[in-house]
């Protein structure tokens, strides 16, 4: 080998930018939360579905990647050439759970019941610039009904979302589901005389800014333009004040209750048939929610919910947490949105050429988990296993038998598998594992047929609070007959 051959550098032990690792409590708490949500979905008749993490780019609905950079927005790659010399398929990691559902609904349409109710939970990947709180891999939790045009399906999704939030731990009064309808907005555009093309797109983009710039800001952007916070002038859409009036009436039509809001919306859409249809659907949803026990303290008609209206074709909804939390600087902040969804009747049609109605909701798993932790409902220390220490490596089989007995009794347990020479290191290990109990049996204890059971939680409390004499008395450590090991551990854990 040549002397000047450079030694290969060691790889860096670091997580790729935009990704993260999840450890013990993170994984356990997420699973607990998702299990509670799945219980509600299952109770409503929804079936679980796991789709492939990889889809064809064509199925995802993205444009094919250009030559220089794989598909912006998704992680994509091209398969090797097929036999005969043709180019291979472009594949990509799924960027959400809805596009795979559309493919499944089309591919298995002759086998699935119609309507098809499904829920799905799992990671998705987006090839986007990472930032604070913005990751390239994250979890989604979706529930959708495919094949029903009835607004009863939309109402059912909203009621199920309320039940899922409450079963996960968000109390009634700490969340609010806000409901709007794209058809109402279409009626507003019709009343303005702006129904398609660039002008309609510009109006939609302006409406989307309502929650940030308010009524006057939207009025200025729809007409002559406005200066932003930096002082830069943003050109307006160029509508007249009369044309902009229906939009502003729509955005500000929220009343004291659903009845008043619906009346305001009917006035805003005027003679538009599609707008009136949208208001009728909202009225039906409100009535069905009330019949299911979901009152206006949980779900309301709210025209200010405009995000996503460019994608959805009918009702749209968003779940917002209303309680306050303290940010890193101690300032009060509202937690904000943790779920959103609506009716999307055009997605499956891409595959079949036929209209297939669908509606669904997606819960932001990380945000909801963070909210539960902020409320103190999760985030406590995750209790580790009982640790059976090793005093005599020649008696490893007996130590393994102790752990097996504990497991058979439903108690989490493990045997220390490091170097047993230093007993202090074994207790340090148990502490790092957050173990509640340590089992000790040396040669003397084995000959007498007993074991020492050390309550590590009580021991830590005594070490922090008790006098030196109390600590030396070892009240956290008891000696019991070997055949009473399981019973003593149960007593301590209880």
List the chain domain ranges: 24-41+130-374, 386-493
- More confident: 452 or 212: 452
Q: Would you state the pLDDT for residue 374? A: 83
Of the candidates 381, 379, 494, which has an alpha carbon nearest to the alpha carbon of residue 435? Answer: 381
Among the residue ranges 55-64, 184-193, 283-292, 338-347, the one predicted with the least confidence is 55-64
How is residue 64 written in tokens? 């094919």
**β-bridge mates for residue 318, sequence order:** 178, 340
- Integer CA distances (angstroms), 484 to 181, 373, 452, 480, 490, in order: 65, 38, 11, 6, 10
Q: Is the pLDDT of residue 66 over 80?
A: no
Express each pLDDT in 155-206 by its tens digit.
999 999 999 999 999 999 999 999 999 999 889 888 877 766 667 778 877 8
Task: Please tell us whether the domain made up of 24-41+130-374 is placed in CATH 3.30.930.10.
Answer: yes
CB of 137 closer than 8 Å to CB of 19 = yes
Distance of alpha carbon 473 from alpha carbon 469, whole angstroms:
6
Rounded to an integer, the average pLDDT of 462-478 is 64
Distance of alpha carbon 217 from alpha carbon 252, whole angstroms:
13
Express each pLDDT in 406-426 by its tens digit.
999 999 999 999 998 899 999
3-class state of residue 115 by DSSP: coil
CB of 125 closer than 8 Å to CB of 73 = no
- More confident: 334 or 395: 395
Q: Would you state the pLDDT for residue 327? A: 65
Q: Is the pLDDT of residue 68 over 50?
A: no
Length of the chain, in residues: 494
Q: Would you state the pLDDT for residue 391? A: 94
Express each pLDDT in 296-320 by its tens digit.
999 999 998 877 666 789 999 999 9
3-class state of residue 391 by DSSP: coil
* Residue whose tokens read 């079963």: 167
What sign does the dihedral 52-56-59-60 (CA atoms) show?
positive
Domain 386-493: CATH class, spelled out: alpha beta
- Integer CA distances (angstroms), 377 to 41, 234, 374, 380, in order: 21, 45, 8, 8
Distance of alpha carbon 389 from alpha carbon 441, whole angstroms:
8
Q: Would you state the pLDDT for residue 250? A: 85
CB of 155 closer than 8 Å to CB of 284 = yes
Express each pLDDT in 34-54 by its tens digit.
999 999 999 999 999 999 999
Q: Is the pLDDT of residue 328 over 70?
A: no
Q: E strands along 109-232, which residues?
A: 116-125, 137-146, 175-181, 225-227
Q: Is the pLDDT of residue 337 over 80?
A: yes
Instruction: List, in order, residues 6 or more apart from 437 with CB less than 8 Å away.
Output: 386, 387, 453, 454, 455, 456, 489, 492, 493
CB of 369 closer than 8 Å to CB of 30 = yes
Distance of alpha carbon 453 from alpha carbon 437, whole angstroms:
7
The model's pTM? 0.83
Mode of pairing for the β-strands spanning 137-146 and 116-125:
antiparallel
Distance of alpha carbon 185 from alpha carbon 456, whole angstroms:
62
Distance of alpha carbon 310 from alpha carbon 74, whole angstroms:
21
Q: Would you state the pLDDT for residue 211? A: 74
Q: Which residues of 368-385 are buried (b: 16+ CB within 10 A; e: fewer)?
A: bbbbbebbebbeeeeebb
- Integer CA distances (angstroms), 471 to 439, 466, 467, 479, in order: 19, 6, 6, 17
3-class state of residue 155 by DSSP: helix
Q: Would you state the pLDDT for residue 47? A: 97
3-class state of residue 168 by DSSP: helix
Q: Would you state the pLDDT for residue 69? A: 47
Distance of alpha carbon 147 from alpha carbon 12, whole angstroms:
49
Q: Is the pLDDT of residue 116 over 90?
A: yes
Express each pLDDT in 52-65 by its tens digit.
999 998 888 754 44
- Integer CA distances (angstroms), 431 to 229, 314, 423, 435, 467, in order: 53, 55, 13, 6, 22
């Amino acid at each position: 080998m040549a002397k000047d051959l450079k030694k290969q550098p060691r790889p860096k032990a670091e997580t790729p930018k935009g990704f993260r690792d999840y450890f013990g409590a993170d994984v356990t708490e997420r699973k607990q939360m998702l299990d509670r949500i799945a219980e509600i979905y299952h109770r409503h008749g929804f079936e679980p579905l796991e789709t492939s993490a990889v889809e064809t780019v064509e199925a995802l609905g993205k444009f094919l990647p250009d030559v220089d950079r794989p598909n912006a927005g998704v992680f994509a790659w091209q398969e090797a050439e097929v036999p005969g010399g043709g180019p291979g398929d472009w594949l990509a990691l799924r960027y959400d759970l809805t596009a795979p559902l559309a493919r499944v609904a089309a591919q298995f349409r002759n086998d699935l019941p119609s309507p098809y109710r499904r829920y799905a939970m799992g990671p998705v990947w987006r090839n986007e610039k990472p930032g604070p709180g913005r990751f390239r891999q994250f979890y989604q939790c979706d529930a959708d009904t495919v094949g029903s045009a009835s607004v009863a399906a939309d109402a059912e999704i909203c009621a199920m979302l309320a039940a899922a939030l409450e079963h996960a731990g968000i109390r009634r009064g700490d969340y609010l589901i806000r409901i709007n309808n794209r058809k109402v907005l279409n009626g507003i555009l019709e009343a303005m005389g702006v129904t398609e093309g660039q002008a309609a797109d510009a109006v939609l983009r302006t409406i989307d800014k309502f929650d940030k710039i308010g009524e006057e800001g939207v009025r200025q952007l729809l007409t002559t333009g406005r200066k932003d916070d930096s002082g830069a002038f943003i050109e307006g859409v160029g509508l007249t004040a009369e044309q902009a009036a229906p939009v502003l009436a729509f955005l500000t039509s929220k009343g004291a209750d659903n009845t008043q809001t619906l009346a305001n919306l009917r006035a805003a859409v005027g003679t538009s048939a599609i707008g009136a249809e949208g208001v009728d659907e909202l009225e039906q949803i409100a009535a069905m929610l009330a019949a299911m026990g979901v009152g206006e303290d949980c779900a309301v008609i709210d025209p200010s919910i405009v995000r996503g209206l460019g994608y959805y074709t009918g009702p749209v909804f968003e779940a917002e947490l209303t309680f306050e939390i303290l940010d890193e600087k101690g300032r009060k902040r509202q937690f904000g949105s943790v779920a959103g969804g609506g009716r999307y009747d055009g997605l499956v049609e891409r595959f079949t050429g036929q209209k297939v109605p669908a509606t669904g909701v997606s819960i932001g798993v990380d945000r909801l988990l963070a909210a539960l932790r902020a409320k103190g409902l999760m985030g406590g220390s995750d209790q580790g296993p009982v640790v059976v220490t090793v005093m005599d490596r020649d008696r490893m089989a007996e130590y393994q038998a102790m752990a097996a007995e504990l497991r058979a009794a439903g108690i989490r347990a493990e045997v220390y598998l490091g170097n047993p020479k230093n007993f202090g290191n074994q207790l340090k290990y148990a502490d790092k594992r957050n173990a509640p109990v340590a089992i000790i049996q040396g040669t003397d204890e084995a000959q007498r047929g007993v074991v020492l059971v050390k309550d590590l939680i009580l021991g830590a409390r005594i070490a922090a609070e008790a006098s030196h004499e109390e600590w030396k008395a070892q009240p956290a450590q008891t000696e019991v007959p070997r055949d009473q090991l399981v019973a003593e551990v149960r007593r301590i854990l209880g």
